[in-house]
Amino acid sequence: MVRRSLFFGLTLILILAFTFLSVRGCRQEDAPPEQPRETVEKSETTATRVLKPQDLEIGRSQMTVDRSVDASGKPLFAARHEIEIFNRGSVPYMKMRLRIAYLSSTGKILETKHHTIDQTILPGASLGLADIRIDGLSEPAAEARLSIVYADIGSSSQEAKPHN
């Protein structure tokens, strides 16, 4: 007898819960739907970055190594570079990132440094940089190999002037 009344009570609770949820769902369907909120944001345009641009080439590259001594007597080395970059493409480039690999006299890579150039090169123009100084070399390098890691495509406005 106790089992029957317990089963009947649980069944009655389930029927009431089902009825309550059904009625509640019908009432919510009758309510007018909320208007979705639309958010429009405007972002600033950014430059398009080109990795290893094929139309930029390094024409001339010269390096000299400066040696100095710090207060503790430890030798310090710095490299000075003179380079010329040609733009053989049809778009201007700005903010170029150079990779400079310093080599020993046997051709072994001693270390690699990076340098950013913030100037613009128009199509068909060249950019000559006379004094790029890289400090903090651990040992003197016999040679340096330069490559362009990336460059941002610049604006093609008439206001830009070549730097040669």
**65 and 101: one domain?**
yes
Query: 102 - beta bridge partners?
Result: 111, 144
**77 and 8: one domain?**
no
* Run of H or E residues at 27: helix 2-30
Query: Has residue 38 been placed in a domain?
Result: no
Task: Please determine, for residue 97, whether its predicted confidence score (pLDDT) is greater than 90.
Answer: yes
**24 and 53: one domain?**
no
Query: Has residue 161 been placed in a domain?
Result: no
93: containing domain: 48-153
- Tell whether pTM > 0.75: no
Higher pLDDT, 154 or 134: 134
Domain at 72, CATH number: 2.60.40.10
Which of 122, 47, 134 minimizes the C-alpha distance to 85? Answer: 122
**112 and 77: one domain?**
yes
Query: Has residue 119 been placed in a domain?
Result: yes
**92 and 23: one domain?**
no
**90 and 11: one domain?**
no
Query: Has residue 40 been placed in a domain?
Result: no
Query: Has residue 158 been placed in a domain?
Result: no
Q: Band of the pLDDT at 85, cuts 50, 70, 90?
A: very high
Task: Please determine, for residue 31, whether its predicted confidence score (pLDDT) is greater than 80.
Answer: no
Query: Has residue 87 been placed in a domain?
Result: yes
Query: Has residue 125 been placed in a domain?
Result: yes
Domains contained in the chain, number? 2
**14 and 82: one domain?**
no
